[in-house]
Amino acid sequence: MPRGERPLEAEGGPLSDFAAQLRKLREQAGSPTYRDLARRAHYSIAALSAAAAGRRLPTLAVTLAYVRACGGDEREWESIWRRTATECAAGTVGAVPDRADDTTSAPYVGLASFQQADADAFFGRENLTTRLVEHLNKKRFLVLFGASGSGKSSVLRAGVLPCFSGKPALVMTPGPHPLEECAIQLAARAHLTPGSVCAELASEPRTLHRVVRQILTGSPDPADELIVIVDQFEEVFTLCHDAEEREAFVAALLHAAHTSGSRCRVALAVRSDFYTHCTRLPALVDVLAEAHLPVGPMTLDELRAAIVRPAARAGLTVEGALLAALTTDAHGRSGALPLLSHALLETWHRRRGNALTLAGFQAAGGFEGALAQTAEAFHSDLSDTQRSITRQLFLRLIALGEGTEDTKRRVPRQELDDTRDTALVLEQATRARLLTVDRDHVEITHEALIRCWPRLGRWLNEDRDRLRLHRALTEATAVWESLDRDPDTLYRGTRLAAAKDLPEEALTARERAFLDASETAERAQALRARHRVRRRRRLVAALVVLLLCAASAVGFAVRSQRIVTTQRNHALALKAADASTALRARDRSLAAQLALAAHQLESNQATRDGLLSVAPRTLDRHVHALAVTPNGRTLATACDDGSLRLWDLTDPQHPAVLGTVDDPSGRAVNLAFSPRGDTLIGTGQDREIRLWDVTDPQEPRPLSRTPTHHTDFIFSLAVSPDGRTLATGSYDHTIRLWNVGDPARPRLLNKLTGHTLNVKPVAFSPDGTTLASGSDDRTVRLWDVTDPRRTSVIAVLERHDNFVDALAYSRDGRTLLSGSDDHTAFLWDVTDPRHHRRLGRLQGHTDVITSVEFTPDSRLAVTAALDGTVRLWETADRPRPAERASLTGLSGGLATVLPLTAHGTIVTLSNDHTIEIWNTDLSRAHTHACTHVRTPISRAQWSRHFPGLDYRPPCTDHT
């Protein structure tokens, strides 16, 4: 029998009514246990039971998952949820009748960052502020790294700047043109023209130093200095696409801070997931070691200060139960501060007298739900037309992550349509503090909205591929206009065809004008091409007459025809393969048929790769780590919400969820199975080891949780072949060995030191006597771990030109494969580790190699890189490896690749957190591609892609 639930509050209200309806739905479904509901809904037991508890409104996503698991009507329940959310937002639950609408006197800033004017209300970061000021006073240059929502902007603006009170300050965000933005601000202070300053900055890094001195010329204090704050520095990677401008901007900042007689101090705020991007700027790498400081989560005392002291300053009190709930929710979460501040602001709106209460907090939606509830209330007040505008507007304000999480995008007002409804949406969103609007720009107030508003997340998931296409169109339109509508910048061919499929309502007037001009230019080009074809046909006709008159030339004509046919088929096959790649995201059915027909027309490397790349199966999204059992039958994935899922991959094309593990303490970032596949091991952001018994994958259970005492991020873990030893590699430059023979009580055996920078991959040899480790110090170390308590370094492999990110052993242990940031992978002969030698070099990737593996039979090596490709290599002749195939069109830069079977199935995890399953066996590719065909290619489509060839749909028997 299912466990009885807590009775709902007697006074009722919207939340109680909503919970009662959910409970009734569950009863109508036969009263399944919450464990059964969790399996069906793919949400934790805690999340589902809380949805029907009546204490707070669950998110729409959780509600619909609950309804789906009970067989309810999702559309009806979405209406019920929206009605309840509106009633809650209106203050009918836990709010006071005289709720204050004036936020100017609020003690909390909500989603927005603290500004210098808010310094008196900025509490909890005093220790960090002191460290930052001391560093700036000593070093002049500071790079502040922290997760989105960790408070980087606030501590620089409201913490650091007031400590330099009296000194002039320049606070900027880079945007798409950082030099231009810097020049505008400098010119305003120095009474110069922005254009001339920008041109000088681009050509001469010393310009910034000279202009700073000019600005300070009139200062009464000869020792006065300019404080330069560059907030959201990651925009130089997400919005600025000009590498030369990016490097010139960094060079100017560094020179201004470090030159002799410097008159400025510089602080950059960067999201921590862009650390690797920063290391690709040579000038910045040289100073990062001494210049960077991390921003971590607030301590409990700091959180209490941030909650209580602003309230006390405003004459308010914080209920003890509320303080306990807030600190519990926020403690240990690096990106929690905007959610905390927004929840406090909404709780302040629902205060009772001068007290902030737990009831008001719950009515606001709680820690996770307050922001979503605010956003939903804003959305529900709009008309249908305004909701459509809202969707396009918010998607336009997001920069899609390429190997990183999505970020907000600052958009010029001129990029938006100037309509009355657009203005109303902007006004309402600004009033709700979801958007920040100034005279020239619009942006999302904080990236926490991207993570915590389920509707926005759903829009992103539905439109991600279209958004990439649309963003490219926006940039092309801007270039076209900046070059006085140069016709050479217009779209042609496949790019134009793809852009024409974008929804009309998503386009601005400027973008529609660009597409109209592109279509006009293409029609004119097609007309000219037809004239050329007619002339050529007349010429060919004349030649044919001449050839017919010359009997001796008949043989030549036959041979020429064969050559022409071969060349035509070659050109058509390549063109169809390219078209298949372009269509893959929009029309998988047509893309599969084009790839298959191209391969049938001519088998070459391009058409083979196109056929293999056409139809991966998307297994799951929002995944951060994965592992597969040695037999390839069970896959474990770590998800955004902290849960782990176990999948049955006996048939890789029809995977099924076996069981779910709820991990409320945080998401795992590394996973590994024991050799027998009965134990799953993971590490998370809290740097703890967790072990689960997965002997029965349908009923996984936790075994132990152990602190590792690593002092920095754990990058990797590996389990020895006998399953008794676990190795963890960390950014604290060390490797730790653990005895996990008793999974319930892991014990630390040894700490290995020797690497001088971050330790990244670790891998055991198949016989378990050797451990390989890779590092940012560009070396691979081989350790003798025959006795894990008494280890020694056997050898150091030094041939890579950059960080070593991935390692894998062949099945026989004679070959080691290493992958690096230098875009290459090496094969090493480690038959005798003390006398190792480099065998072959795998070249072809154009970005960082993030993952390497051997197939189970070790005949193929597999490499994955941030260029979004997976490459398969024949390694029978290991000194001369040959590329066999390349998979393209993945959903994001590659993070991990795992070969599942010897006959060509692999699974990939991209940096946009998507898992896909790929077939790489060419003998099965025909059948596999045809499974994606819904409608046979039409005659018109065939003629467009294969002009002159007889109509032959490649998948007639499969539709």
The helices-and-strands tally (H runs, E runs) of the chain is 31, 40
Which homologous superfamily does the CATH classification assign to the domain defined by 14-89?
A: lambda repressor-like DNA-binding domains (1.10.260.40)
148-174, pLDDT tens digit by residue?
Answer: 888 999 999 999 999 988 789 999 999
Q: For residue 680, name the pLDDT band (cuts at 50, 70, 90).
A: very high
Please determine, for residue 672, whether its predicted confidence score (pLDDT) is greater than 90: yes
CATH 1.10.8 placement within the chain: 300-369
**Residues of the chain with pLDDT > 90: what percent?**
28
482-493, pLDDT tens digit by residue?
Answer: 777 888 778 877
CATH 1.10.260.40 placement within the chain: 14-89
pLDDT value of residue 205: 84
With contact defined as beta carbons under 8 Å apart, do 66 and 46 qualify?
A: no
pLDDT value of residue 93: 40
79-123, pLDDT tens digit by residue?
Answer: 888 788 767 655 444 333 333 344 447 899 888 889 988 888 899
Which letter does DSSP use for residue 9 in this model? Answer: P
> Per-residue DSSP letters for 427-495?
HHHHHTTSEEE-SSEEEES-THHHHH-HHHHHHHHHHHHHHHHHHHHHHHHHHHHHTTS-GGGS--HHH
Structure-derived torsion over alpha carbons of residues 793, 794, 796, 797, reported in degrees to the nearest 10: -140
Where would I find the beta strands (DSSP E) of 712-857?
714-719, 725-730, 735-739, 747-752, 759-764, 770-775, 780-784, 792-797, 804-809, 815-820, 825-829, 837-842, 849-854
Amino acid at 920: T
pLDDT value of residue 102: 45
pLDDT value of residue 900: 61
Q: For residue 580, name the pLDDT band (cuts at 50, 70, 90).
A: low
Question: Around Cβ 423, how many Cβ atoms within 10 Å?
Answer: 12
Q: Which helix (H) or strand (E) holds 706?
A: strand 701-707
With contact defined as beta carbons under 8 Å apart, do 34 and 45 qualify?
A: yes
pLDDT value of residue 796: 94
Question: Around Cβ 408, how many Cβ atoms within 10 Å?
Answer: 23
Q: For residue 417, name the pLDDT band (cuts at 50, 70, 90).
A: confident
CATH of domain 300-369: 1.10.8
Please determine, for residue 319, whether its predicted confidence score (pLDDT) is greater than 70: yes
**Residue with structure tokens 């949805």?**
51
Spelled out in words, what is the top-level CATH class assigned to the domain 125-295?
alpha beta
Burial (CB count within 10 angstroms: exposed 0-12, middle 13-18, buried 19+), residue 120? exposed
Question: Around Cβ 101, how many Cβ atoms within 10 Å?
Answer: 7
Query: What's the rounded mean pLDDT across residues 511-534?
Result: 80
Please determine, for residue 642, whether its predicted confidence score (pLDDT) is greater than 80: no
Q: For residue 710, name the pLDDT band (cuts at 50, 70, 90).
A: very high
Q: For residue 3, name the pLDDT band (cuts at 50, 70, 90).
A: very low
Query: What's the rounded mean pLDDT across residues 504-509?
Result: 79
Cα of 30 vs its chain's centroid, Å? 40
With contact defined as beta carbons under 8 Å apart, do 726 and 704 qualify?
A: no
* Cα–Cα dist 866/114, whole Å: 35
Rounded (to 5) percent helix, strand, coil in the chain = 45, 20, 35
User: What residues form DSSP beta bridges with 750?
Assistant: 737
**Residue with structure tokens 């065939």?**
942
437-458, pLDDT tens digit by residue?
Answer: 877 788 888 888 888 888 888 8
Please determine, for residue 260, whether its predicted confidence score (pLDDT) is greater than 50: yes
pLDDT value of residue 101: 43
pTM, two decimals, is 0.51
Cα of 680 vs its chain's centroid, Å? 25
Residue 304, helix vs strand vs coil: helix
Please determine, for residue 249, whether its predicted confidence score (pLDDT) is greater than 80: yes
741-779, pLDDT tens digit by residue?
Answer: 999 999 999 999 999 999 999 999 999 999 999 999 999
CATH 3.40.50.300 placement within the chain: 125-295
